[in-house]
Amino acid sequence: MRPIDRIAAAFRGEQPDRTPFVPSIYEHGAALLGKTPSVVARDAALMAEAALTAYHTYQHDLVTVGIDVYNVEAEALGCAVHYDDSSSAVPGVVSHPLAEQEQLDAGALEIPPINSSAGRLDLISDACSRVMAEIGEQVWVYACIGGPFSQAVELRGFENLLMDMLTSPQQVHALLQKTTEFSLRHAADLSRRGVGINIYESWATLPLIDPGIFEQFVVPYERTIIERLRADFATPPPAIIMGGNVSDLIRFFIETGASLIAADYNADFAHIRTVLEQHNSDIVVRGCADPKMIERAEWDGVERALSVLAEKSRGMARFVWGCGCVSYSTSPEDVLHFRQLCLEQSR
């Protein structure tokens, strides 16, 4: 069974020949090329080569293109990103354009014009096109966009935005409407190339915010993006990816219309499955092992975790194996060993 057929079967709720294997490969792809994340993150050809090299090495069943996947939209909107070509560190946002406002004024944010190549938006699109041309007939290819809430945090600063929710909620919603439209513009460009969209909401996870904030300031904007993409494009189904314990947010993920979520290693998988079944949801769950344990080659712990996940997901067609972000320093041999352990649990 080809990867594209295997993962599509899982999304349809059918049993594939084995459980799909979907690790999170970002800056680790740069390591496979012997280059730093900052170098690869600013070169479309290298970013595509990193994704392709990872696919040919690990034969995973869904490929995601990107390195510092949380920064791209924020950078295009005016956040400064620090690059260090000599370090294995992942590039990161170092300035927040709206942070100096005494009171949030969403009207001060200027969205780049639709034909703008602001930041690295065109670079990401170029890299995705290269990967699609090479392996798009074999495997689903996904691109990444920073979610509207996470973009707002990067623009305003986390503590500032939390205070704004109490003192100026209308301005927060106005800002989120802008970041949502910007996300949709970038997502549409990527979708026209045939790739699926992962929406990354790193700042929306628990315990950084509580479920009430998630319901009010995250769900409506994620739902807008997903509904528009589903209506306008015949691409792999949109996913929402975030770390942390998503157990208490599962009913909200159902409301967004997302097709895949990641259940991190600390999530209550049994609760997630129960809620999904109660709502007759077609969400695919990626059961994730701890990537730090893989990096340290703590195989007894990894095997125990996989065994527990295998038991809790038994009979669940919409389930795929995965892990959190594979680090730059994790050896390819250890990723391959993790893959083998997942495949053994699939039998």
pLDDT for 199-235, tens place per residue? 999 999 998 999 999 999 999 999 999 999 999 999 9
pLDDT for 159-204, tens place per residue? 999 999 999 999 999 999 999 999 999 999 999 999 999 999 999 9
Gap between the terminal Cα atoms of the chain? 15
Would you state the pLDDT for residue 18? 95
Residue 325 φ/ψ, nearest 5 degrees: -55, 120
Would you state the pLDDT for residue 265? 87
Would you state the pLDDT for residue 115? 63
How many Å apart are CA 327 and CA 329, to the nearest integer?
5
Would you state the pLDDT for residue 118? 76
DSSP track, 71-123: THHHHHTT--EE--TTS-SPPEE---TTTT-SS--GGGPPPPPTT---TTHHH
Q: Which helix (H) or strand (E) holds 162?
A: helix 158-167
Mean pLDDT of 227-246: 94
Q: Which of 215, 214, 220, 213 is nearest to 180 (CA)?
A: 220
Mean pLDDT of 308-328: 96
pLDDT for 278-305, tens place per residue? 999 999 999 999 999 999 999 999 999 9
Would you state the pLDDT for residue 266? 87
Number of alpha carbons in the 13 Å side-chain half-sphere of residue 191: 23
Give strand pairing partners of 147. none
How many Å apart are CA 108 and CA 316, to the nearest integer?
48
pLDDT for 87-113, tens place per residue? 999 999 999 999 999 999 999 999 987
Would you state the pLDDT for residue 116? 62
Question: What residue ranges define each of the domains in the chain, with the CATH number in brackets?
Answer: 3-346 (3.20.20.210)
Would you state the pLDDT for residue 114? 62
Please check the confidence at residue 117 and state whether its pLDDT lies above 90. no
Would you state the pLDDT for residue 112? 86
Would you state the pLDDT for residue 310? 95
Please check the confidence at residue 243 and state whether its pLDDT lies above 90. no
DSSP track, 222-246: HHHHHHHHHHH--SSPPEEE--S--
pLDDT band at 244 (very low <50, low <70, confident <90, very high): confident
The contacts of residue 13 (CB under 8 Å, 6+ apart) are 282, 317, 318
How many Å apart are CA 21 and CA 337, to the nearest integer?
12
∠ CA 167-209-160, nearest 5°, is 40
Contact 294, 334 (CB under 8 A): yes
Would you state the pLDDT for residue 133? 98
- Considering the chain, what percentage of its residues have pLDDT values greater than 70? 99
Please check the confidence at residue 346 and state whether its pLDDT lies above 90. no
pLDDT for 47-59, tens place per residue? 999 999 999 999 9
Tokens 């040919």 belong to 56
Residue 5 φ/ψ, nearest 5 degrees: -80, -35
Mean pLDDT of 142-152: 97
